Amino acid sequence: MKTGICLPYMKAGLTRDDYLQWFQRVDAGPFHSVSCGERVHGPTFDMRILLAAAAACTSRVQITPTLYVLPMHSAVQVAKEVASLDILSGGRVQQVCVGYGGREADYAAVEAPFKGRYGRMDQQVATLRQVWNQQEVIPGAGAIGPLPTRDGGPKLLAGVLGPKSIARCAQWADGLYGWSGNGEQAELANAFRLADEAWDAAGREQKPYRLGGFWCTLADDGPQRLYDYVYDYLAIAGPEIARMMAESVHRSSEDTILEALDNAEAAGCEEVFLVPATADIAEVDRLGDLLLRRGG
């Protein structure tokens, strides 16, 4: 199982030097890939710019957006961004996660309609592949570049939850980004079971790629900082849900993170992303050391 790490894109006050340290340590460590998510509100950094910086400052790790909230954007613009990132990284954008998102205020802030996002994403995926295959979007206007480094562009993974969404994405996705906040085997295995069933029902010959992820920390005062991170992340759902979810997450020690990694592997993950709760550079060093001792 390959293991990646998510950049701390939601922390306020981070500087160029902070990110340079992260890029350098991640690229020097045992990590297979580096990722970043997308949010609009809060002190969040822009996913595209942060991953472009990571691509320029690293030479080894794969660069994986996790994920584009695709219906908030122009599909043509996303196609250009992804292809540009792929080229500038030296072909290290092998897969891109896309999803619907659930934050209506983020849609409103960028003046994108929240309603109809499910059907819109189906159409947008077709447009992405149309652009990457150099097929005209506007008849007579010519193809839109640049060309990605691999024919047809990177794989598209669906970052979705629930059987209906998974079944819908099985029509076009190359795999599933399955999420379990606490790295529970049963949650991940169930998501991948639903994906296998949906891919079969859709008549897909290729099995879905299995990417997983969970929250964790090895920073000092880890349990409290993990709780605070999850609570803040889910505060949009209301204080009761945020508190319940924050109390359910406890991957804040070497033993518990090793257990979550074992859970992910047992659930069938081909790759898993560690999503640290802090921006401390110690997260990269300590998690990297732990992976080396585990053997990858």
237 domain residue, yes or no:
no
44 vs 166: CA distance, rounded Å: 28
231 domain residue, yes or no:
no
- pLDDT score for 236: 86
245 domain residue, yes or no:
no
273 vs 51: CA distance, rounded Å: 15
237 vs 31: CA distance, rounded Å: 32
Q: Which amino acid is at 246?
A: A
239 domain residue, yes or no:
no
> Containing domain of residue 119, as a range?
2-221+250-294
Residues of the chain with pLDDT under 50: none
- pLDDT score for 275: 98
195 domain residue, yes or no:
yes
The enclosing domain of 99 has a CATH number of 3.20.20.30
- pLDDT score for 119: 94
| Strands laid side by side in the 62-65 sheet | 62-65, 33-36, 2-6, 271-276, 209-216, 175-179, 155-158, 95-99, 68-69
Share of the chain above pLDDT 70, in %: 100
On the 0-12 / 13-18 / 19+ scale of CB atoms within 10 A, 213 is: buried
Q: Give the distance from CA 26 to its chain's centroid.
A: 16
258 domain residue, yes or no:
yes
Q: What is the pLDDT of residues 132-184, one digit of tens each?
A: 999 999 999 999 999 999 999 999 999 999 999 999 999 999 999 999 999 99
216 vs 254: CA distance, rounded Å: 10
228 domain residue, yes or no:
no
Q: Which amino acid is at 38?
A: E
In the chain, how many domains are there? 1
Taking each helix axis from N to C terminus, what angle separates 222-233 and 239-248, rounded to the nearest 10 degrees?
140
263 domain residue, yes or no:
yes
- pLDDT score for 296: 59
236 vs 147: CA distance, rounded Å: 39
